[in-house]
Structure 1
Amino acid sequence: MNKIIFLRLLFIAIMFASCNGQVISKEDSNEYLKSKGEFDKILTSHFPNKLVAYPYTIINNKNKAKNDICFMLYEHDVNPLKIDSVINKYHFIAKYAYQDSCLFFINRFETKYTYENRKKVEILDSLLVNRDCYKMKYPVPNFKIFNSIDESFNIYVLEAKSGNRFGNFNLLPNLQMPPEWQNGYSKGIATSRKNKTLIYWGVIW
């Protein structure tokens, strides 16, 4: 084999297998699959079948008392070409810019403090619970309580339905949501080419 071609192939193989000098460990891979398996496939069918590279963040939350059930995978330092590939892979029912002035957030009044300290959430402005501009929109995660994102992100909704649809998560009505969406689920992805970040989410409330 031509030496130059061989060196190029070797470089590609190394780049594929590692990120920041690290290869995904078997333990991390198993932990991801275990966490993913704790949720119905309806919620996680769009998630990767395996972890590809570091760095990443997994959020696995099952706080029934706060209508806060979610599984998320943040992939960091993602090649923009991969982001484009993932976006083109799916058929989305909606696309929103994070800078949109009227995003229909799930658990809108939850803050990073109340989330991390499991504090009771106070509805500060009841007019924000059921705004007219929500009527034609689907609920999306309140990302800022998990791992802050900025205005460069786009949010793609794959599916969103109202009602209690998961027997193991039979929840009371969520008073942070309008009457027709006081229970439900939503799933999709969020992306930022600027930040090279890809987020997979599945949320139940």
Structure 2
Amino acid sequence: MRKSIYLILIILLVSCTDRRTELEKQFLENYANGIGTFSRDLTGHFPSELKEEKKLSVSYPSGVYAIGMANMIFSHQVDSMEFNKVKRKLELNKIKSYKPTDSIFIIVGDTINYSEKLNGIPIPNFDSYERDFGMNSKYLPEYHKIYVFESKTGKYLQEENLSSGKNLPEKWKNGYSRGIATNEKENELVYWLYVW
């Protein structure tokens, strides 16, 4: 009887490990495909080495939920040394930090009309990111800091995949935004690229 219980436990442990390995492999494939879909100029800020506690959201222009946009949002938790290294690099490069709810932001894909916000900075609508931030899921929680590396106007998708620019200022009808958000509370780094 005792041997049977041990045997069952070993089988369960092995099957869980196999499932985790398969999920890890699938995650790495999705990450590589996401990075490979976009130009290296747009994805160069994404990490080449992946850490634990990863979350990934990738949508392509032809996807059901990505009509008129493509994006990649990747999050992972790192140790405090790695987190501080990234923060120092952001500071050395003099990249300004913002609060998630800063009024300067134009949230691409939001239902709010931003057409009069001519000098705004576009960032992702984070509700497409695979994490529940509650009622205002389009925003990251207050304890995050947002660093926008670059946002440019222009057509970076094929014509048939371009956004109509609904609710966006004419200047930002099409373009891209890329950057990183930091969460000091959990040593989390959230990388994004949004193309619309």
Q: Choose from 188, 192, 196 the match for 1:201.
A: 192
How far apart in 2 are the matches of 1:140 and 1:92? 19
Structure 1 residue 25, shift from structure 2 partner: 4.8
Which residue number corresponds to residue 96 of structure 1? 98
Change (3 A) 1:154 1:169: farther
How far apart in 2 are the matches of 1:28 and 1:171? 27
Change (3 A) 1:162 1:169: farther
How far apart in 2 are the matches of 1:178 and 1:48? 32
Cα distance per residue 1:21-46 (max 9 Å; x no partner) = x8995554344223211222122111
Alignment of 1:37-52 (within 5 A): 37-52=36-51
Structure 1: give runs of 5+ residues left out of the alignment: 1-21, 110-124
Which residue number corresponds to residue 189 of structure 1? 180
TM-score between both structures, scaled by the size of structure 2 = 0.70
Given that 1:175 and 1:182 are in contact with CA atoms closer than 8 Å, whether structure 2 keeps it comes out as: yes
Change (3 A) 1:153 1:183: same
TM-score between both structures, scaled by the size of structure 1 = 0.68
How far apart in 2 are the matches of 1:83 and 1:71? 21
Alignment of 1:45-194 (within 5 A): 45-52=44-51, 54-63=52-61, 66-76=67-77, 78-90=78-90, 91=93, 93-109=95-111, 126=113, 128-131=114-117, 135=119, 137-146=120-129, 147=131, 148=133, 149-167=140-158, 170-194=161-185
Identity of aligned residues (%): 28
How many residue pairs get aligned? The number is 163
Given that 1:75 and 1:197 are in contact with CA atoms closer than 8 Å, whether structure 2 keeps it comes out as: yes
How far apart in 2 are the matches of 1:138 and 1:94? 12
Change (3 A) 1:39 1:79: same
Change (3 A) 1:55 1:168: farther
AA matched with 1:179: E
Structure 1 residue 74, shift from structure 2 partner: 0.9
Q: Which moved more, 1:67-76 or 1:94-103?
A: 94-103
RMSD over aligned Cα atoms: 2.7
Structure 1 residue 173, shift from structure 2 partner: 3.0
SS in 2 for 1:75: strand
Given that 1:58 and 1:74 are in contact with CA atoms closer than 8 Å, whether structure 2 keeps it comes out as: yes
Given that 2:123 and 2:177 are in contact with CA atoms closer than 8 Å, whether structure 1 keeps it comes out as: yes
Structure 1 residue 93, shift from structure 2 partner: 4.9
Change (3 A) 1:170 1:26: closer
Given that 1:157 and 1:187 are in contact with CA atoms closer than 8 Å, whether structure 2 keeps it comes out as: yes
Which residue number corresponds to residue 4 of structure 2? none
Structure 1 residue 154, shift from structure 2 partner: 0.6
SS in 2 for 1:104: strand
